[in-house]
Amino acid sequence: GSQISCFSPTNFTAKQSAYVDTACWDSLVHHGFDTEGHAITKSLWALKVPVELAPGCPRVPPRTAQRPLVSLTQVFPYALLVVAVLMYMPYLLWRYAAVPALHSDLLFIIDELDKSYNRSVRLVQHMRKVQQASANPERFWEEYERARRERYFEFPLLERYLTCKQRAHSLVIIYVLRNLLLLLFLAATCLFLIFLHLNIFFQDEFSCSIRMGLLEAEPHIPPLIPCKLVFFSVFQLVSLSVGGVYVLLIPVVIYNALQLCQWDKGLLSVYEMLPAFDLLSRKMLTCPVNDLNVILLFLRANISELTSFSRLSAVSAVRDTSANRQDIDTVVDFMTLLAGLETTKPKH
């Protein structure tokens, strides 16, 4: 249906009323008077494109020369489409510039962490078989001490790989750039909607004038015709909804960006129970703005893929509630405990 409704004089025919609606919808210029009674005009166009005339071209009347090419209600849906495209650009940047490398890093780290846990389980099973097959109980404790002394749980490849990621900054640059673009587009959209509301979006009724050109000398045409934008409230509701959602998204984006300012030590601290994994204890985690911190953030988000984490978390909870916490400090002690072995070394 029609997006504008003009109240034409009663002596106008149906075709004349339709012409008034079309002309006022095409112009969208409000005519009024100031406090001193001077005639003023206010354009309801979102964008005004000036018309440049070539030399020798006839000039049009001043009222028509200031007429823009695109109206607010005609532009607003396309403006939202442009906003949607802009908001999709940070996703494309992250999807094609960072996700492939990040995905391979996560798969490698998850696989290596699970392997370290599985090696500890196999070692405890071997120690259990040694205890059952040996008549000498001291043989078991010799194997136990040798396992801790020779660092059977050592996985230098993973630890060196994580250390290497501390000196890389490609992922963190893309991560920061993505968040900055999101903040820029969110703020620009909110400012654009605020500008529209302050200037145009509170004026759904305006006075239109069609006395121009051949109709300027017609005495039966009134100087001003009141008009109303029918779907104006729909545009207001859409703009308020979009603006409200984007305002709520701004602190979320800022919070995600600030996560790079600190280490997620809760994840790696669980694996500190493994004797060889001392990335934290050796103070190797320096400045958090690097690729390793980004990897840890996404590893935390995909913690369900890390099978060993939940099991080691349970072991950590047992250690925190243990009476002899100083005697149970590594996963070797807990594995022997969970395997039903006596963790207290017999006295001679």
- State how far the Cα of 112 lies from the Cα of 124, in Å rounded to an integer: 19
Dihedral sign (CA 194, 195, 199, 203): negative
**Number of H helices and number of E strands within the chain?**
12, 5
| Structure confidence by residue, pLDDT tens digits, 193-237 | 887 777 665 666 778 888 776 676 777 788 888 888 777 777 778
Does residue 333 register a pLDDT over 90?
A: no
DSSP state of 136: -
pLDDT band at 332, cuts 50/70/90? low
What was the pLDDT predicted at 60? 38
The pLDDT value recorded for residue 61 is: 40
Instruction: Give me the pLDDT at residue 200, please.
Output: 65
Pair of tokens at residue 49: 């494109």
Give the pLDDT confidence score for residue 29 in this predicted structure. Answer: 76
This prediction has a pTM of 0.70
Q: Name which of 4, 60, 52, 62 is nearest 28 in CA terms.
A: 4
**CA nearest neighbour of 324 among 309, 345, 308, 310:** 345
Q: Backbone dihedral region of 151: left (phi > 0), alpha (psi from -120 to 50 degrees) or beta?
A: left
If one compares 330 and 287, the residue with the highest pLDDT of the two is 287
Shortest CA distance to 173 belongs to which of 94, 254, 243? Answer: 94
What pLDDT is recorded for position 137? 65
Secondary structure class of 134 (helix, strand, coil) = coil
Count of Cβ atoms closer than 10 Å to residue 115 Cβ = 13
Tens of pLDDT, residue by residue over 40-88, are 776 665 433 333 333 333 333 434 434 433 444 456 777 888 888 999 9
Over residues 281-297, the mean pLDDT reads 83
CA dist 325 and 12 (Å) reads 95
The predicted pLDDT at position 67 comes to 41
Torsion angle of the four alpha carbons 287, 290, 295, 297, in this order, in degrees rounded to the nearest 10? 60
Please report how the helices 99-133 and 307-321 are oriented relative to each other, as an axis angle in degrees rounded to 10.
60
Give the residue extent of every domain in the chain: 4-37+69-339
The model's confidence at residue 13, banded by pLDDT at 50, 70 and 90, is: confident
Beta carbons of 273 and 241 less than 8 angstroms apart:
no
| pLDDT for position 80 | 80
Give the full edge-to-edge strand order of the sheet including 225-229: 4-6, 225-229, 205-208
Please state, in angstroms and rounded to a whole number, the distance separating the CA atoms of residues 279 and 267. Answer: 12
pLDDT of residue 108: 92
Average pLDDT, the chain: 75
pLDDT of residue 89: 94
CA–CA distance, 56 with 185 (Å, rounded to integer):
43
Neighbours of 333 (CB within 10 A): 21
Give the per-residue pLDDT at 93: 94
pLDDT of residue 56: 39
Highest mean pLDDT: which of 72-81, 101-110, 153-162, 268-277? 101-110
What pLDDT is attached to residue 346? Answer: 52
Give the pLDDT band (50/70/90) at residue 171.
Answer: very high
Q: Looking at 22-26, 51-55, 278-282, 293-297, which range is the least confident one?
A: 51-55
Name the pLDDT band for 272 (thresholds 50, 70, 90).
confident
Contact present, 173 and 93 (Cβ < 8 Å): no
* pLDDT value for 245: 92
The C-alpha atoms of residue 95 and residue 9 are separated, in whole angstroms, by: 59
Q: Which of 11, 9, 27 is nearest to 208 (CA)?
A: 27
Which secondary structure element, helix H or strand E, spans residue 137, and what is its range? helix 137-149
Distance CA 153, CA 120 (A): 6
* Phi/psi at 281 (5° precision): -65, -25
pLDDT in tens, 300-317: 988 888 888 888 787 777
Q: Is the pLDDT of residue 163 over 80?
A: yes
* Per-residue pLDDT band at 153 (split at 50, 70, 90): low
Helices marked H in 150-231: 156-166, 170-199
* Among candidate residues 247, 242, 235, 245, the one with its CA nearest the CA of residue 202: 235
Instruction: Give the span between the Cα atoms of 306 and 304, in whole angstroms.
Output: 5
Q: Do 225 and 7 contact (CB within 8 A), yes or no?
A: yes
The better pLDDT of the pair 143, 161 is held by: 161
Look at residue 344 and tell me whether its pLDDT is greater than 60. no
- 119 has pLDDT over 90: no
Amino acid type, 149: R
Average pLDDT over residues 286-298: 90
235-246 confidence digits (pLDDT tens): 778 888 888 999
At residue 338, what is the residue type? L
